[in-house]
Amino acid sequence: MSLTQIAIDTLAKNDRGGFTIPTAGLYPYQWNWDSAFIALGIATYDMDRAWAEVTSLLEGQWPDGMIPSIIFRSDDPDYFPGPSRWGKTPGPIPSTGVSQPPVLTTAVMQLTGTGSNRDTARRAEVFDQLFAYHKWFHDNRTAKGIVATVHPWETGRDNCPEWNIGLDLMQVAPDLAPYTRMDNKHVDASFRPTQEQYDKYLTIIQFGQSVGWDQRRLTEEGPFLMADPNIHFILLRADKDLLAMARDLGKSADVVAAIEGWIAKGEAASDFLWSEELGAFTARDIRTGAFSKGFSNCSPLCFYADTGTPEQRARILENLQRIASKVDYMLPSWDPDADEFEPQRYWCGPVWPQMNFMVAQGLAETGEDTLAQLIRDDLCRAIEKSGFWECFNPLTGEGCVGKNFSWTAAVWLSWQHETKLKGVA
């Protein structure tokens, strides 16, 4: 059976009727940014089902505009922390109390790019909800002029060493309720975050509950507050796509001006993330100003957001070339020359399909075709060697963490479809 058919079968097996889980057992719910990438993969063979992936995610949007990181349509005892641990949240469906990188708007832009009446109608159908989501980020997560994050899980890069700066400043809540992790029952514990990290993740959740999930208080008073290049660049790209959508739909001058203001703010804020020492955009603690000490796989998303000075971009490219000489499969999630690089531990080193997808897209769009192709080809080689895993060891290409993974299948399908459209054998 071809890998393309296996990818389609993987998505079908993970379909739960209108939404798709990342993989059975380990992740039994609908995840925010997973669904955006999954929709792009499903669109290669069933556009109506792909659109249902988008609209089902929007069903969980909170009244204030936030789209949570996870939507809980059940309480699966095989997953922790589930809805009972997050407590009562204000959305229409039980959910987490934090969000995830807002790639959804860019996915909608790509799904509806033919200019047909149907695509225009689909954009119009979801525009107001997308606008409200972006407004939520700018209103509720801005600190010192940049959109920040209150929880490593909100970044999508749970245990990346970048977050140790903020986590090290935290204390585990002395009254933290006891809990039993379920993730380590599904996968090797050496692939997953440490117990101390988990205690601090749960401490943040406990604080969120204590303020009734008041998002401004969570940002201003919570125990963790960092600026994240992943959220920053994905939101900046999404703001630009939202602006194009607003103009295409003939939205009011006030709406257009609001989005233009967000974009101007985002462009100006990029320098806050620039570490001259590293020659990279990197995470930064909001309260202390401390930068992280390594090059991550979201630093090159400046190309995806089409931002950064020529000098900054040149240094990013130099870092990418350096890292390519250190690994057999690009792009590792953490710098192999930095402390705490672990090639198989979640966000401490492995190659992540959705990140390669965005980085390669940004590089290609800005004329860096050779590096873009390398990043695409290396992920495809890893998939061909190991199958559709959640992430891959950058030294060996072996699969890590979750297998039969939806966004990996979706990225494969999206790239194979794109190749066919270009008429390349």
Cis peptide bond N-terminal to 94, omega within 30: no
Provide CB contacts within 8 A for 309, sequence distance 6+.
none
Torsion of CA 167, 357, 364, 377, to 10 degrees: 120
Q: Residue 31: beta bridge partners?
A: 70
Distance CA 403, CA 382 (A): 13
Q: Which amino acid is at 106?
A: T
Q: Which of 156, 237, 173 is nearest to 207 (CA)?
A: 173
Q: Is 214 a catalytic residue?
A: no
Q: Which two tokens stand for residue 98?
A: 């934090």
Q: Which amino acid is at 289?
A: G
Q: Is 318 a catalytic residue?
A: no
Number of Cβ within 10 Å of residue 18's Cβ equals 14
Cβ distance 140 to 219 under 8 Å? yes
Q: Which of 373, 316, 381 is nearest to 351 (CA)?
A: 381
Helix (H, G, I), strand (E, B) or coil at 334: strand
Helical residues (DSSP H) of 112-228, grouped into ranges: 117-140, 152-155, 164-168, 183-186, 195-210, 215-221
Q: What are phi and psi of 329, to 5 degrees?
A: -135, 120
Helix (H, G, I), strand (E, B) or coil at 280: strand
Q: Pick the catalytic residue from 59, 125, 158, 267.
A: 158
Helix (H, G, I), strand (E, B) or coil at 171: coil
- Measured distance between the N- and C-terminal CA atoms of the chain, rounded to whole angstroms: 19
Q: Pick the catalytic residue from 162, 239, 368, 390.
A: 390
Q: Which strands sit side by side in the sheet containing 142-143, from one edge to the other?
A: 142-143, 146-149, 226-227, 284-285
Number of Cβ within 10 Å of residue 1's Cβ equals 6
Q: How many residues does the chain have?
A: 425
Per-residue CA distances from 312 to 60, 241, 282, 304, 319 (Å): 38, 23, 12, 14, 11
Q: What are phi and psi of 413, to 5 degrees?
A: -65, -40
Cβ distance 221 to 194 under 8 Å? no
Residues annotated as catalytic (active site), given as ranges: 158, 390
